[in-house]
Amino acid sequence: MTVHQRDWQAFVVPADDGAVHMDLAVDGITCAACMGEIERGLKRLPGIRKARVNLTSQRLAVDWVEDQTGADEIVAELERLGYAAHPFDPASQKERQDKTGKQLLRCLAVSGFAGMNIMLLSVSVWSGNASDITPETRDFFHWLSALIALPTVAYSGQPFVKSAFRALSAGRLNMDVPIVIGVGLAVALSVVQTIQHHHHAYFESAVMLLFFLLVGRYLDHNMRGRTRSFAENIAALKAEVAARINPDGSVREVPLSKIAAGDLVLVAGGERVPVDGVVSSGISEIDQSLVTGESVLVPVKPGQRVYAGTLNGAGALQIRVEAASGATLLDEVNRLLETASQAKSKYVRIADRAAQLYAPLVHGAAGLTFLGWLLAGMEWQPALVIAISVLIITCPCALGLAVPAVQVVASGQLFKSGVLLNSADAIERMADIDTILFDKTGTLTLAEPELVGEIDRQDPVLGLAGQLALASRHPLSMALVKATGALVPLADVQEVSGAGLETHVDGQRLRLGSPLFCGATTEAIEERLLAVPGASLLAVQYGQEPVRLLAVRQKLRSDAREVVDRLKAQGYALEIVSGDTQPSVAECAEALGIENWQAAMTPSAKIACLEALQSDGRKVLMVGDGLNDAPALAGAHVSLSPVSAVYLSQAAADAVFLGKKLQPVFDALWLSIRARRAIEQNLWISTVYNIIAVPIAVAGFVTPLMAAVAMSASSLAVTANALRLKWGNRVTTDADATTAFGSAASPKGE
């Protein structure tokens, strides 16, 4: 279906304050300049309130006053700017993005293979020209090169040709325009000179030019593609239907959109809660790790609040609805994620900013060179050769590789340190950091809880309790299994929903579960909690023996205090922002020596804290793992998640770190500063190269072949400079840290 045949008004939905809203997928967005062009162009239309482009998902969100502008006019303006629009559908958009990635990879493979073969032929011609090659043999090699180069340029040049055509159709220039002109003129001139039996042709220059540029284009597309899926995964957590309990007691599944506040819904064991509400009846346990970050299952009973997206345990629950589809905490997190991700996507990389001015300068230099030599009395063909040399020698290949080359090498070094990148420009942004916000659970601590203190594995009662715990996947039970080393489960185990496990051994009842289920007194519970602040209690009761209260809590990462001390020594401001209880967070902060901390924080509270710091000019690194951290992870200047994080947090974060230590966080910061220096050096190499090369090319001292060699040399120079990142050693001591951060001109102003 064409754009003009589609009824765009059907995709318009009401928004706030009497406005309307439409989401569009826009093809052809490749850089921050494209984003700015679209947003500025749409805001020129009457009634447009907001126009926001998400570079990662290529999603355009528009809010406007309907009686001033129509949906068709918005799409028409996008067409005028040179961009194709489609109704935004996550599945269709993912399919389009995957198709684009495969096409780039095919173009890259074709240009690389063809470039190597043409280079072999060219080397034969170059060596033959210096010896005794016959004109017929030289022409034959040139025609073979043309036979390979022409279809290669036609196929592999498509991404650049389409982009340049869109830009020129909209009356603007972009970085792809000089690429297309340079490659096109080089190929055309090579064909003409081959027909006229000249000594030189420049097919290899055109094809290798495309190859180098496609490398950078594919790497950028591939790395950005890793961050496109968080919205799809939010949708996967949302229930499509809910089991509504009718007034007559019957239960019927209805679409979630038909559920309203005040309705009563039934959630069976093992199902995700579809709504926000209060438990009306039933006892169970809820996995709220998606909301709080806590891996411990939370017992729920009538009167307690539950949230959409959380996972119900074994017991059935009846829930009185307070918020349904579109108004739940999960929906709020989704909106916060989208807003924060759009804000972060406005980060304009150094190379993109330089490229905005680069295209007109290159065109101007080449055009003036051609006219200048014509006015000086030169024939048009040699004047065109000089102009092409200017275009080729100033081709933004080195500029295009300046950032991606460093990113690739730095990504490899980070991988060795246990850090995987989700975002292509995370390394650049990480070098700006001066403030670090840590979540507690699963970030400063390990995800799986452990028993506090030593346990006597010879104790027969605890041994039986460990065997009983094998019947449950509850995190507290798993901690007991790990501590006791139990291997053989007990028989005839019964699970009491929301309470624990029970069986009989030698005629005596054995229970494992909550303290009240096992008969512990309130005084004993309070005394134990006072002795171990912030811990969860697991009780064991066997026969007539006293109830045993085992304290379980999440253990700090083994190097957490060391890494925190080293980060503080480098001048970073540290703070804990957690959804956990105040005693638990206070104990963690004291153990790590972190003075600033906040507890019981909701996703919106974390965003508010983040925005307050950013309004003070702080550059914030957010390190977290729960769903409640995802909006802050997306909105921070840069963000990290442990590999144990929920998938949504990993997708929203710029990087994920592996292992049970916090050292990768420190390594990432250290390497990012070195990487930023390498990026700046590469940009200077590109700039100085052009300052020197352009006058020489304009003066006519450079042939297209020499220009291609010089261009390739500049590309190799920035690549070699990026490879220097491999020569640095991993920071393992305070002395190393001081040297690394100090010599890298840390942005914290120290």
Spans of all domains in the chain: 3-88, 93-225, 238-325, 447-555
The distance of Cα 49 from the centroid of its chain, to the nearest Å, equals 28
Give the model's confidence band at 626: pLDDT under 50 very low, under 70 low, under 90 confident, else very high. Answer: low
Q: How confident is the model at residue 745 (pLDDT cuts 50, 70, 90)?
A: very low
10-24, 333-347, 372-386, 637-651: least confidently modelled range:
333-347
Residue 530 has pLDDT above 50, yes or no: yes
Long-range contacts of 37-46 (CB under 8 A, 24+ apart): 37/81, 37/170, 37/172, 38/78, 38/81, 38/83, 41/77, 41/78, 41/80, 41/81, 42/74, 42/77, 42/78, 44/77, 45/69, 45/73, 45/74, 45/77
Indicate the pLDDT class of residue 623, thresholds 50, 70 and 90. Answer: very high
Beta-carbon count within 10 A of 447 CB = 18
Amino acid found at 31: C
CA nearest to 168, candidates 81, 242, 96, 67:
81
At residue 183 the predicted structure's pLDDT band, cuts being 50, 70 and 90, is: confident
The per-residue pLDDT for 467 is 92
Region of 711 (left: φ > 0; alpha: ψ -120 to 50; beta: rest) is alpha
Q: Tell me which of 225-234, 372-381, 594-603, 673-682 is least confident.
A: 225-234
Dihedral-angle region of residue 545 (phi above 0 means left; psi in -120 to 50 means alpha; beta otherwise)? beta
Q: Give percent of the chain with pLDDT exceeding 90.
A: 24
Identify the sign of the CA torsion 558, 561, 562, 566: positive
Question: Of 352, 432, 439, 629, which one is the catalytic site residue?
Answer: 439
Q: Verify whether residue 439 is a known catalytic residue.
A: yes
What are phi and psi for residue 175, nearest 5 degrees?
-70, -20
- Average pLDDT of the chain is 81
pLDDT at 292 > cutoff 60: no
The token duo for 602 is: 């909701």
DSSP 106-150: HHHHHHHHHHHHHHHHHHHHHHHHTTT--HHHHHHHHHHHHHHHH
SS3 292: helix
42-51, 53-62, 337-346, 499-508: range with lowest mean pLDDT: 337-346
Mean pLDDT calculated for residue range 627-639: 84
Share of residues in the chain with pLDDT > 70 (%)? 82
d(CA 660, CA 642): 9
d(C-alpha 274, C-alpha 266), whole Å: 10
The DSSP line for 487-517 is -SPPSS-EEETTTEEEEEETTEEEEEE-TTT
Backbone angles phi, psi at 558, to 5 degrees: -60, -30
Using one digit for the tens of pLDDT, what is the confidence trace for 547-584?
999 998 888 898 999 999 999 999 999 999 988 778 88
Work out whether strand 264-267 and strand 251-255 pair parallel, antiparallel, or are unpaired: unpaired
What pLDDT score does 478 carry? 82
pLDDT digits (tens, 9 = 90+) for 219-260: 667 655 654 555 555 556 777 789 999 999 899 988 888 888
Pick the range with the lowest mean pLDDT from 222-236, 272-286, 727-741. Answer: 727-741
Q: According to CATH, what is the number of the domain 447-555?
A: 3.40.1110.10
- pLDDT of residue 380 exceeding 70, the answer is yes
| pLDDT over 80 (residue 400) | no
Beta carbons within 10 angstroms of residue 192's beta carbon: 13
Cα–Cα distance, 234 to 71 (Å, whole number): 28
Mean pLDDT of 36-42: 82
Whether 194 contacts 139, CB under 8 Å: yes
Would you say residue 698 has pLDDT above 70?
Answer: yes
265: pLDDT confidence band, cut at 50, 70 and 90?
Answer: very high
Judged by average pLDDT, the poorest of 387-396, 429-438, 575-584, 730-739 is 730-739
Whether 531 shows a pLDDT value over 90: the answer reads: no
Q: Which of 4-18, 79-93, 149-163 has the lowest mean pLDDT?
A: 4-18
**Which pLDDT does position 594 carry in this prediction?**
96
Q: What number does CATH give the domain 238-325? A: 2.70.150.10
91-100, 225-234, 704-713 — which one is most confidently predicted on average? 91-100
pLDDT for 748 equals: 46
pLDDT per position as a tens digit, 643-691: 665 555 666 788 888 778 899 999 999 999 998 888 889 888 888 988 8
Say which residue, 304 or 151, is predicted with more confidence. Answer: 151
Please tell me the distance from the alpha carbon of residue 597 to that of residue 574, in angstroms, as a whole number: 9
State yes or no: pLDDT of 348 exceeds 50. Answer: no
Range among 208-217, 318-327, 708-717 with highest mean pLDDT value:
318-327
Q: Looking at residue 574, what is its pLDDT?
A: 97
Output the pLDDT for position 347.
31
Q: Kind and range of the H or E element at 273?
A: none
Is the model's pLDDT at 357 over the cut of 80?
A: no
- Mean predicted confidence (pLDDT) in 291-301: 66
Nearest Cα to 71, choosing from 26, 10, 15, 28? 10
Say how far apart CA 631 and CA 601 lie, in whole Å.
13
Decide which of 3.30.300.280, 3.90.550.10, 1.10.3720.10, 3.30.70.100 is the CATH code for 3-88: 3.30.70.100
Highest mean pLDDT among 83-92, 116-125, 432-441: 432-441
pLDDT confidence tier of residue 135, bands split at 50, 70 and 90? confident
The pLDDT-based confidence of 326 (bands split at 50, 70, 90) is confident
Question: What is the mean predicted confidence (pLDDT) over 88-111?
Answer: 84
Contact 725, 410 (CB under 8 A): yes
